[in-house]
Structure 1
Amino acid sequence: MNKAIRFKSKSEMIAEEIKTAIISKLYGIGMRLPTERKLATELRTSQLTISKAIAMLSREGLIDKRHGSGNYVVNSVKSIRISFLIDENKYGINPIWSSIYEKFYISAFCSDINIKINMNIIPENCNRIEPLHVDNSDIIIVAVALNPQRVESICEMGKTVIWLEEYSSELPGFSVYFDNFNAGWMAAEHLYEQGCRKILYLVYKMTADSFSGEYYISRRRLEGLSALARKKGMECHSLSFCYPKGNTIHELRTHIDNANDSFDAVCCFSDDLMPYVIRTVVGAGLKIPEDVAVIGFDGQPFCGSFIPTLSTLSQPIDAIALTALKIVKDYFTGVVVEKSYPLPAQLIVRESSLLNNQSRRLNKNESEKNKTI
Structure 2
Amino acid sequence: MNTEHDWITTPVTAGILRGHIDLEATARGLLPHRLPARARRQIPDGQLAIVEAQPSGVRLAFRTRATTIELDTLPTKRVYRGYPAPADGVYDLLVDGRLAAQATVDGGNVHTITDMVTQSFEPSEGPVGTARFAGLPAGDKDVEIWLPHNEITELVALRTDAPVERAPDSGRRVWLHHGSSISHGSNAAHPTATWPARAAARGGVELVNLGFGGGALLDPFTARTMRDAPADLISLKIGINVVNTDAMRLRAFTPAVHGFLDTVREGHPTTPLLVVSPILCPVQEDTPGPLMPDLAGGTLRFKATGDPAERAAGRLTLNVIRDELTRIVKQWTADDPNLHYLDGRDLYGEADYAEFPLPDEVHPDPAGHRRIAENFARLAFGDDGPFAAETS
Q: Same fold (TM over 0.5)?
A: no
Interval of TM-score (by shorter of Structure 1 and Structure 2): under 0.3
Given the two structures, how large is their TM-score scaled by the length of structure 1?
A: 0.28
* Bigger CA radius of gyration: 1
Given the two structures, how large is their TM-score scaled by the length of structure 2?
A: 0.27
Q: Which structure has more strand as a fraction of its residues?
A: 2
